[in-house]
Amino acid sequence: MSILVEKYSPTRYQHYDNYDAIEVSKVADIPEDWTGVMGVPITFLDKYNPEQFEIVGNDDIGYPATKTYRAKTKVIDGERSKSNTGALRCVLRADSYGPGTYFDVGYPVKGVYRRIFVRRIGAIS
């Protein structure tokens, strides 16, 4: 069983713009006091304990998005791209377009790597 020591804080754990879950960028950062769904890296599977966590889906199947975007424009390093390809899996809302790849969906969002959605066993959300 993994020992969880981090505490949830809305400033540290951002809520996805298009999924009802929080972003946990590192498995070691899973908060001990969060009772809802979390998006965790696929490296979570190396430490997965079915007595501690329930896998509820991933950003491709099993866990529905709460929002879809009709139109999007890719913005790379502040420049709009002619190519708007790319799937919007889990995205986090951003304050502005910075270095890297963002999408304009009416406001800036930045994608994260593939995520598995998990919830602690016994957690009441």
pLDDT tens-place values along the chain, 125 residues long:
578 889 999 999 999 999 999 999 999 999 999 999 999 999 999 999 999 999 999 998 889 999 988 888 999 999 998 776 666 889 999 999 999 999 999 999 999 999 999 999 876 55
DSSP one-letter string for 5-35: -B---TTTSPBPSSSSSEE-SSGGG-BTT--
The confidence score (pLDDT) of residue 62 equals 87
List the structure tokens of 3: 């020992």
Q: How far apart are CA 83 and CA 27, in angstroms?
A: 33
pTM of the full structure: 0.89
Residues 6+ apart with CB under 8 A from 111: 86, 88, 89, 90, 91, 101, 103
For the chain, domain boundaries = 22-120
Region for residue 79 given its phi and psi (left: phi exceeds 0; alpha: psi -120 to 50; beta: otherwise): beta
Tokens of 17: 């713009």
**For residue 65, which phi and psi values (nearest 5 degrees)?**
-70, 150
Residues in a beta bridge with 118: 38, 55
pLDDT at 124: 55
The pLDDT of residue 82 = 77
Question: What pLDDT, on the 0 to 100 scale, is given for residue 109?
Answer: 96
pLDDT at 118: 97
CA distance 88 to 18: 9
